[in-house]
Structure 1
Amino acid sequence: MKGKLRKASAFTLSFALLASVFSGCSSNTAQPTSSTQKSDDASISTVPLPIVSKPITLRMFVAMDAKVAATMKNYNEIAVFKELEKRTGIHIDFIHPASMDAAAVKEQFNLMIASGDIPDLIYYNWIGDYNGGPNKAIKDGVIMPLNELVDKYSPNLKKFMNSDPRANKQMRTDDGTIYVYPEAQSPDQFAKVNPNPNPAFQTFGWQIRQDWLEKLSLKSPETIEDWYEVLKAFKTKNPSGSGKNDEIPLAPKGAGDLQNWVRAWGINYGFYHDSGTVKFGPYTPEYKEALTTLAKWYKEGLIDPDFALTDGKQFDAKVMGNRAGSWTGSTSGTFGRFVQLMKAKDPTVKLLGTVPPYVKGTKSYNFNVDEIKIASGGGVAISAKSKYAKEAAMWLDYGYSPEGSLLNTFGIEGQSYKMVNGSPQLLPEITNNPKGLSIDEALSQYSRGSGGLAFVMTPEIWHQRMALPEQQQIIGLWKAGSYDRTMPPGVTPTVEESTKIASILSTVNTYRDEQFLKFVMGQTPLSEFDNYMKSLKGMGIEDAIKIQQAAYDRYIARK
């Protein structure tokens, strides 16, 4: 989840249409079969199956995953949810925003809240995207605090939280409130099936055409200085062999991908901490150095001139068209997919990763969470208006049981996996899909094991999803960066702080993103950087940093 700028969607849905969509869904929801708020309900030690004596329907708002969208139109088509309905008696009516674009999802979320027709379950980033944060969402009557529900009706999640103090800490706000059922995975559990420490949490990084490096007798770049020499060679020496000199040395998919490069200067595109001192990357002297380098690269034609307008399809065309030399992306959805597709097209193609770049004389940094993964504030919350809070809590909790974890992670035995010596193993239909789907795309037809929603991942999935030798290699390369400056997940401002910081950052981030493009493209000279810094200060960025510092300090003090 990571400082990326996404283009605003051209799609706009009218309030009336959206309201009608949600109200239309409610007509299919069964009437409550039991009270969900009785204080005299006994706590449960296991989730009973089926959960309800008569079938009920719960509605869930969740943005569509691109890996699912490759073959399906709705999560109801995924085999795991059909099986969950058989086991629990609960049908989930999924409500997907019409666009997967982050801005469009947020727009439709806000329209949904304004309509007052709020579904039972909502998958959302409550820290990053809800104005005021999770406690404000509770105060607004959008979602409910989950402490009592978890204590009484979620024995499996309780067990997971008690098994690792990091999980217990990250899943709460400063006052101890639990607000979501998270997607969870524990490094300790993954370590049991993988000798490498914390293998699951560096799933994003720098990717390069290794065959081009070899053709030009170049070493894999590490420092920014190395990268400059490599990108120049990619541009001038025609490593693709096309004879057209049409290579794109660095091919970002949108401005967000290029913004990741500021990490090479030891800063993040958003907040980070330096030995406990919170900083905002685009409000530092190092940011000017980063912009100066990127502007130089852009001027020399080393960066795709159309990077800011490049969408997913255009990005794929440039990589698959043998024109792109390097880019950033995920281990599976980007790297693994390209390895499989490009090798099928040309067996001589070699892709590999690089260590996170750094300036010579400094060190490499990562800014991705390297702990328990709880989606950094994201997860499934229960609506304050739901008539089925108790049932929803039990349905969600099943995903943290051994059986529910296996189902959510691997899918259906005999269809997507088989048991071998007591360990689940993906079938060839998933790992070598006859239709040419990537492992994650094929797996997404059966489960949520490629990521998303509320459950704890079965640890054996990791290396099976990353089964390609190239994927195994890049994990080690990407993890070479230090995590010393990464902000921990779950840092939560108070309601008052969240409202203030959201107001500040709505202006700051817009200005930051606009100026990033202008500086890099040469529309604004770097001689104007001091004025840029003064503008950020006038917008209140220093107040925002103080708020984030206070929230960080409270998080560190949590027990």
Structure 2
Amino acid sequence: MKGKLGMVSALSLSVVLLASVLTGCTSNATKQTSTSEKNEASLSSIPLPIVNKPITLKMFVPMDAKVAATMKNYNEIAVFKELEKRTGIHIEFIHPASMDGAAIKEQFNLMVASGDLPDLIYYNWIGDFNGGPNKAIKDGVILPLNDLVDKYSPNLKAFMNSDPKANKQLRTDDGTIYVYPEAQSPNQYAKVNPNPNPAFQTFGWQIRQDWLEKLNLKSPETIDDWYEVLKAFKTKNPSGSGKNDEIPLAPKGAGDLQNWVRAWGINYGFYHDGDKVKYGPYTPEYKEALTTLAKWYKEGLIDPDFGITDAKQFDTKVMGNRAGSWTGSTSGTFGRFVQLMKAKDPSVKLSGTVPPYVTGTKSYNFNVDEIKVASGGGVAISAKSKYAKEAAMWLDYGYSPEGSLLNTFGIEGESYKMVNGSPQLLPEITNNPKGLSIDEALSKYSRGSGGLAFVMTPEIWQQRMALPEQQQIIGLWKAGSYDRTMPPGVTPTIEESTKMASITSAVNTYRDEIFSKMIMGQVPLSEFDNYMSKLKAMGIEDAIKIQQAAYDRYMARQ
């Protein structure tokens, strides 16, 4: 799905948390069960330290951009230093050289081909591993986790037993558990957020509110509204520069622009309409979307360099008072710009809009809300690891109340303090003296901004979205319907996944190429029927059938 904020954040897995079931699964050295016997009883808690003699586990994990802003390796994050003190286990992180998704996949494939596998692997097992998680298990890349979870992961086991949806989403169709997830809880977030309509939507449409006010324009909702706003941004010089150099719509790459097809009730990939699975770029509505976006591009309403705009160039356009609207995350994009731009010019106002929609229809979201398994991502235990038991226990500690607090908030007295029994981020994080965003500052101490395997302490959500502007936009973004969002954890069989990968690899490459070329006028829209015919010849209808079968099986899971 497009619109993710990098792979790490694109790999997050979220499920409902019922915190009460975890209370009895705390780490307590006085209750430890012997792990030296062959026939061990299942642990009721994680003993600390986990090992009597220190050991090192290697972990493959892509670098998070929020961490990369201040550090070169996850070992520099305070949480992992503290985890080593508590557990006796040191983690040696292996980071791909690039944060680009294609480069990560290439390095992962080379690693698997070499047979030299680390103990722990953070990866997108459904979306990016050819054949899916069951194939990864069959090929001896990762272990099935059912027995390990049952014996050595009491906190994750309780977590899965706490809600049928959680248990359902963490398994393949045959019941196999394959990853330790990052778990997030909007239900728990609702309990600590006084907002009567708490939102969990952290990605959406952003706009220069001060430009709207200057031009006496209302916040756009429909595509027709957006057209009028973008034309005004283009012709009426709302920045006041006198140069008429505004960029009405400034996507950060083609991926950001692809989010706009959602306004026609379709996704830029698979989605479902009722019980029927569809592929957005293989629908009549897709032609309507391309026609509109091509018109906008021709009229200069879309950045002419959208396809080659990287993160640094995007920041320059927004911070340079030229961009009128864009899409992005609540914190890493919106919150960061609010803080930086206000510091530069207090008159700047940023806001969000509801997900756009075509007049006469309704607004849709395709970022999974409430229960989310981001394409099967999470930490798996390598089949080559000599420390599978210890790895399972180390990972499970992140689902205990103490482990959750440590992974989420970091170090007490350094990144947070307890106030009336509730963790509160310190000014070092919320008002960083070096100008770091909340997530960037928090990433020096914890993984509370997202990533790896633990359950987030719910108080973090309100504090990460502490700005009034952020509280406003997440409510606006959640206005879209989730009726057509594919449920998380839909898992094709090994055979289906292999066939699907061979089809979608070529289909998606061609889709992306034609998307940009048709919008820029390099391929005329009159060629749309030929485009559809080529997708059919490439096997897209077979891929849809595979996804339909997987969706049907998922919906039938108990």
- TM bracket, shorter-chain basis: over 0.9
1:456 alignment counterpart:
455
Match of 2:375, SS state, is: helix
TM-score normalised according to structure 2 size: 0.94
State the superposition RMSD in angstroms.
1.6
In structure 1, distance between residues paired with 2:5 and 2:429: 32
2:479 alignment counterpart:
480
Change (3 A) 1:360 1:37: farther
Match of 1:463, SS state, is: helix
1:262 alignment counterpart:
261
Q: CA deviation at 1:200?
A: 5.5
In structure 2, distance between residues paired with 1:383 and 1:504: 28
Match of 2:99, SS state, is: coil
2:220 and 2:229 in contact (8 A); partners too: yes
2:2 alignment counterpart:
2
For 1:266, the aligned partner's letter is G
1:503-541: CA deviations, max 9, x gaps? 000110010000001110001111110000000000000
1:308-457 alignment, distance < 5 Å: 308-457=307-456
1:93 alignment counterpart:
92
2:230 and 2:301 in contact (8 A); partners too: yes
1:84 alignment counterpart:
83
2:51 alignment counterpart:
52
In structure 1, distance between residues paired with 2:67 and 2:185: 24
1:507 alignment counterpart:
506
Q: CA deviation at 1:370?
A: 1.1
Match of 1:60, SS state, is: strand
In structure 1, distance between residues paired with 2:304 and 2:36: 56
In structure 1, distance between residues paired with 2:490 and 2:223: 31
Matched, 1:129 2:131: no
1:183 and 1:373 in contact (8 A); partners too: no
Q: CA deviation at 1:189?
A: 1.8
1:44-75: CA deviations, max 9, x gaps? 00000000000000000000000000000000
1:242-257 alignment, distance < 5 Å: 242-257=241-256
In structure 1, distance between residues paired with 2:394 and 2:184: 19
Change (3 A) 1:507 1:392: same
Equivalenced residue count is: 532
2:150 alignment counterpart:
151
1:463-484: CA deviations, max 9, x gaps? 1000000000001000000000
Change (3 A) 1:332 1:36: farther
For 1:534, the aligned partner's letter is S
Once the two structures are aligned, what percentage of the paired residues are identical?
89
In structure 1, distance between residues paired with 2:179 and 2:275: 27
In structure 1, distance between residues paired with 2:512 and 2:66: 28
Compare 303-312 and 372-381 and name the one that shifted more.
Answer: 372-381
1:182 alignment counterpart:
181
Q: CA deviation at 1:386?
A: 0.3
Compare 384-393 and 369-378 and name the one that shifted more.
Answer: 369-378
2:205 and 2:355 in contact (8 A); partners too: yes
1:155-178: CA deviations, max 9, x gaps? 000111111211111110000000
In structure 1, distance between residues paired with 2:512 and 2:85: 47
For 1:96, the aligned partner's letter is H
1:17 alignment counterpart:
none
Match of 1:376, SS state, is: coil
In structure 1, distance between residues paired with 2:106 and 2:90: 27
2:532 alignment counterpart:
533
1:274 alignment counterpart:
273
In structure 2, distance between residues paired with 1:380 and 1:412: 23
In structure 1, distance between residues paired with 2:40 and 2:124: 31
Q: CA deviation at 1:37?
A: 11
For 2:290, the aligned partner's letter is L
2:365 and 2:480 in contact (8 A); partners too: yes
Q: CA deviation at 1:452?
A: 0.3
In structure 2, distance between residues paired with 1:154 and 1:396: 8
Change (3 A) 1:533 1:108: same
Q: CA deviation at 1:201?
A: 2.9
For 1:64, the aligned partner's letter is M
